Amino acid sequence: MKIATSTYPLSWLESRDAYAAKQREWVSAAASEGADLIVFPEYAAMELAALDGAEAASDRQGATDAVAARQDDLNALFSKLSSEFGVHILGPSGPAHAGAITVNRAGLFTPSGAAGFQDKQIMTRFERDEWRISGGGPLQLFDTALGKIGVLICYDCEFPLLARGLAEAGAELILVPSCTEALEGYWRVRIGAMARALESQCVTVMSSLIGTEPRLYGVEENTGLGGIFGPPDKGFPPTGVLAEGSPDRQGWSYADVNIAQIREARRDGNVLGFQHWPEQEPRWTDITHRALK
């Protein structure tokens, strides 16, 4: 398959038609290059807050409610684009109301019209303390025509056991939509994505939100670049980097990924991290303390 991951710039879009036109342009560009799977970033759906005007969009509750209220429209748009262009799409994540809490939710859309949704699991300090976004529903494993796919939204990929759970359930691709304000945030997520590809001998796909838009709450400043990573093992580049964009330069990054290579690395790689993972358990629970004073 060919995977396209985005370095996606925020825009101030004042109408539903303008928003839909931008998404169509981006999906069309990736599909014209032969992409089978395309990945948008975390919190890129915050562009929808502009439709309620600058006052609401710059306010925590106003922006959150504006995007959450448009989740059905967002899902319908990306489901239509997925079917029309014949591509699998991880759409932009954004706030969604789930009962008494608000979660950060991303949708995975398939050309057949099927869709699934993944909520972010672990909130950053800003999300939990200021934005009041909560961890949502459980991890999902999506069994698709392209293979078995998991999603770890941004900070989630910095926690190895989440990725390991997906890998043990069968995930061969893990999508990592991200939104990071500063360069150190970008590198935390990228290092996490590369480490998860190494540990579970899988492919991780990181997308990034970029640009400055002070009128949009929560995403006022963003930096990063898209990247696609695999295990540094046979069948993959020695760096583990299959593709990457340029810092803060908008566009798609592409890589051809063969699921059979992932399975072969797990079966007979130069190292067998996926198979040997359980050997850690008796060692991390049985630690001998020695005084060397």
User: pTM value?
Assistant: 0.97
**Residue 165 falls inside a structural domain:** yes
Q: What percent of the chain has pLDDT over 70?
A: 100
**Residue 290 falls inside a structural domain:** no
Helix (H, G, I), strand (E, B) or coil at 239: coil
> Would you place residue 285 in the very low, low, confident or very high pLDDT band (cuts 50, 70, 90)?
confident
**Residue 116 falls inside a structural domain:** yes
Cα-flanking dihedrals φ and ψ of residue 56, to 5°?
-70, -40
pLDDT tens digits, one per residue of 13-43: 999 999 999 999 999 999 999 999 999 999 9
**Residue 292 falls inside a structural domain:** no
Residue 215's pLDDT is what? 97
> Would you place residue 187 in the very low, low, confident or very high pLDDT band (cuts 50, 70, 90)?
very high
pLDDT tens digits, one per residue of 120-129: 999 999 999 9
**Residue 222 falls inside a structural domain:** yes
Per DSSP, helices labelled H in the chain are: 16-32, 54-57, 60-68, 71-85, 125-126, 160-169, 183-200, 259-268, 273-276, 281-285
**Residue 108 falls inside a structural domain:** yes
Cα(160)–Cα(162) distance, integer angstroms: 5
Token digits for 120?
């972010």
Helix (H, G, I), strand (E, B) or coil at 105: strand
CB-based burial label for 82 (10 Å; 0-12, 13-18, 19+): buried
Q: Which domain holds residue 134?
A: 2-285
Number of independent structural domains in the chain: 1
Task: For residue 24, give the CATH number of its domain.
Answer: 3.60.110.10
CA atoms within 13 A on the CB side of 26: 29
Yes or no: say if 142 and 175 are a contact pair by the CB < 8 Å rule: no
> What average pLDDT does the segment 37-63 reach?
98
Cα(290)–Cα(293) distance, integer angstroms: 9
> What average pLDDT does the segment 42-64 reach?
98
> What average pLDDT does the segment 97-120 reach?
98
Say which residue the tokens 């239509």 belong to.
80
DSSP summary character for residue 156: G
Pairing of strands 142-144, 147-151: antiparallel
**Residue 29 falls inside a structural domain:** yes
With 90 as the cut, is the pLDDT of residue 284 above it?
Answer: no
pLDDT tens digits, one per residue of 138-171: 999 999 999 999 999 999 999 999 999 999 999 9
Query: What DSSP string describes 262-283?
Result: HHHHHHH-SS-HHHHGGGGHHH
The residues with which 115 forms a beta bridge, in sequence order, are 109
Query: What DSSP string describes 202-221?
Result: -EEEEEEEEEE-TTSTT-SE
Yes or no: say if 127 and 158 are a contact pair by the CB < 8 Å rule: no
> What average pLDDT does the segment 239-259 reach?
97
Q: What angle do CA 259, 202, 187 make, to 5 degrees?
A: 135
Cα(143)–Cα(141) distance, integer angstroms: 6
Dihedral over Cα of 192, 106, 59, 56: its sign? positive
